[in-house]
Amino acid sequence: MCCLTDCLCSCFVWPALIGVAAEFIRQYMQGGKFEKQTDETGKVVIVTGSNTGIGKETVLELARRGATVYMACRDKSRAEQARLEVIRETKNQNIFFRELDLASLDSVRKFVDGFKKEQSKLDILINNAGIMQCPRMLTKEGFEMQLGVNHMGHFLLTNLLLDLLKKSSPSRIVNVSSLVHAYGTINFDDLNSEKSYKPDTAYNQSKLANVLFTRELAKRLEGTNVTVNALHPGVVETEIIRHVTIFKNTIFRFLVSPLIWLILKTPKNGAQTTLYAALDPDLNGVTGLYFSDCKPKEVSAAAKDANSAKRLWEESEKWTKAK
């Protein structure tokens, strides 16, 4: 009888306990959630890179809350498909796609010109689009791709929209950065990674640039009632990891898929801190901060360097001719 009991324990109890433990770990890793109910009817929002992943989930929730959302994306067919899915799911017809390629400053200017012809206000700008650890590639203007898309394109976009944001105040700018900003340095002697290039180093630099840009812009917007904050969305299973070499290996992905399921956030949960920064009423007037899991978090020492932030701003103005 004892043997039978031990056998039943081995077959059913232990697997059940392991399953419960795994689910507990998974739920913990999904992080904080923005659960406050807000009505965004009448608000106009731009979300870059929103045809998939965190961006799409952000648009979905904004649409549910009644906002008018512009999906600023590069891929027309995928963005249009995502737009129709959002409308079908939320019954919000005020969801629009407008083409934006952050690897082309001409495209950025064209997008802004078109948007201003359609809208006389902008309540929230969410700079979400990004590229991660790609082989060395260049934007149309010759910028290293990660710095060009993740920082320079958004730098120009934001500056060109500041007049509308000020006009629509109180308004918000949300910059999606990453915890890896803490491992980044701004290499002013080789900002464009021409002397040497490592995909992870360039990515970390671009994410540090996001935080420095946020902090410098917050200073420059003092007294305007336009706030700007940065955030880490979490480690999220999205298409952004498509260039990471190890994840290109099918066998590796298969072997680690249980671990990915366990510790990586879903895109919906990855969007929670973005929604928190964009919508939480308690953040009215709060600016220049960095959030993770829907709460403030300290940034790295390099991200607090005011001289680097000012110098990066000046370099970005030269590169993008934003002044």
Catalytic residue ranges: 203
- Whether 122 and 165 have beta carbons less than 8 Å apart is answered as yes
Q: Tokens for 74?
A: 């590069």
Beta pairing class for 44-48 and 68-73: parallel
First to last CA, the chain: 83
- State yes or no: cis peptide before 258, omega within 30 of 0: no
φ and ψ at residue 118, rounded to 5 degrees: -95, -35
- Whether 268 and 52 have beta carbons less than 8 Å apart is answered as no
CA-wise closest residue to 299 among 214, 226, 227: 214
| 217, containing H or E segment | helix 199-220
SS3 state at 126:
strand
- Whether 114 and 166 have beta carbons less than 8 Å apart is answered as no
Buried b (16+ CB within 10 A) or exposed e, 216-249: bbbeebeeeebbbbbbbbbbbbbebbebeeeeee
Q: Tokens for 72?
A: 């600023």
CA 167 → CA 121, 123, 161, 226, distances in Å? 7, 9, 10, 9
Which residue has tokens 């394109």? Answer: 153
